[in-house]
Amino acid sequence: MPLLEIENLQVEIEGKKILNGLDLRVNAGEVHAIMGPNGSGKSTLAYVLAGRDDYTVTDGRVTCEGEDLLAMEPDERAAKGLFLAFQYPMEIPGVTAYTFLRTALNAQRKKRGQAELSTPEFMKRVREVAGQLEISQEMLRRAVNVGFSGGEKKRNEILQMALLEPRICVLDETDSGLDIDALRIVADGVNRLRSKDRAMIVITHYQRLLNYIVPDVVHVMTKGRIVRTGSKELAVELEASGYAQFQTELV
């Protein structure tokens, strides 16, 4: 059974159709890249998977290990193991990164019937991962993302992802706004999380990120559906030829 299966997904927002019969199967251990031009529905897909409620699913289904993902609240999806690394991570004034990480982790563990992590255990885990992502302890004592640079915010997303240990990671334009050094730190963080039990969906506009996070499968998305699927070479081909050919194909 695939870890994530999307069949004929149709989604609209305010009466405008964004996803138009999208199909996708992702197995544990695989990294899928979804590439496409602006407005093709990539971010909508990410939000719909995470459970944002301003989108209306008009048809189709999404299952996670056979369970109906669309019937779950966002927090239930998170506890089930779905993680969305946001394109624009939110600032949370008044809540330190430590408190937020701890609250989120314990909320998920509670829902899964696991005991809360002890403080020393939690601190050890945070320090280890934060060190790898070059996130200072000082940053963790500050309010989540408040006053952080774009790169710091993206690293913070990967820190959350690493600590929450999700089964399915959806990375929405994680490379946007990153310089080359930050890109490498973020990509290394993601690569460390690759495992046979975990699936990743990397949404990106550019091929650049895929030099660092090498995908098993590449999909091209335009106008709300996947129009082509191939190996990692497809990304290189796209970088050379652009998306125009796919957009005309559909007309």
Partner 1 sequence: MNAEIKPIKTAAELKLAASFAAAKDTLPGGPLLSERRLRAFQQFEALGLPHRRIEQWKYTDLRTLMRDAAPLASVPSREAVASATSAGAIFASGGGARRLLFVDGAFASDRSDLGNLEPGLSIMAMGTALAESDSAVVAQCGDVVPTDDVAVALNTAFMGDGAVIRVADDAHIERPIHLVFAFTSKTAAAVFPRSLVVVGRGSRLTLLESFEGPDGVDYQVNSAIELVVGDKANVNHVKVGREGSHALHLSTVMARIGAGSRLQDVALTIGGAVVRNQLFVRFAGEDARLTANSATLIRQRQHVDTTLVIDHAVPGGFSRELNKAVLDDESCGVFQGKIIVAPGAQKTDGKMMSQALLLSERAEADHKPELEIFADDVQCGHGATAGALDQDLLFYVKARGLPQKEAEALLIAAFVGEAFEVIGQQDIKEALMAIAQGWLGARP
Site of interaction with partner 1 (CB under 8 A): 50-53, 73-75, 77-79, 84, 86, 89-90, 92-95, 100, 103-105, 107-108, 111, 143, 160, 164
Q: Which is nearer to partner 1, 158 or 234 (CB)?
A: 158
Q: How far apart are CA 33 and CA 230, in angstroms?
A: 10
Contact between 210 and 33 under an 8 Å Cβ cutoff? The reply is: yes
CB of residue 78 to partner 1, shortest distance in Å: 4
DSSP 8-state class, residue 214: -
CB of residue 171 to partner 1, shortest distance in Å: 13
Q: Which is nearer to partner 1, 35 or 139 (CB)?
A: 139
* φ, ψ for residue 179, nearest 5 deg: -80, 175
CA count, 13 A, side-chain hemisphere, 5 = 10
CB of residue 82 to partner 1, shortest distance in Å: 8
CB of residue 55 to partner 1, shortest distance in Å: 11
CB of residue 235 to partner 1, shortest distance in Å: 27
Note the helical H segments in the chain.
42-50, 74-80, 97-111, 119-132, 137-141, 150-164, 180-192, 208-212, 233-241, 244-250
The amino acid at 212: Y
Q: How far apart are CA 243 and CA 38, in angstroms?
A: 10
Q: How far apart are CA 132 and CA 244, in angstroms?
A: 39
CB of residue 157 to partner 1, shortest distance in Å: 10
Q: How far apart are CA 222 and CA 20, in angstroms?
A: 10
Q: Which is nearer to partner 1, 107 or 193 (CB)?
A: 107
CB of residue 66 to partner 1, shortest distance in Å: 21
**The dihedral sign for the CA sequence 186, 189, 191, 196:** negative
Q: Which is nearer to partner 1, 75 or 121 (CB)?
A: 75
Q: Which is nearer to partner 1, 20 or 160 (CB)?
A: 160
Q: Which is nearer to partner 1, 111 or 127 (CB)?
A: 111
Q: Which is nearer to partner 1, 59 or 68 (CB)?
A: 68
DSSP result, 9-66: EEEEETTEEEEEEEEEEE-TT-EEEEE--TTSSHHHHHHHHHT-TTSEEEEEEEEETT
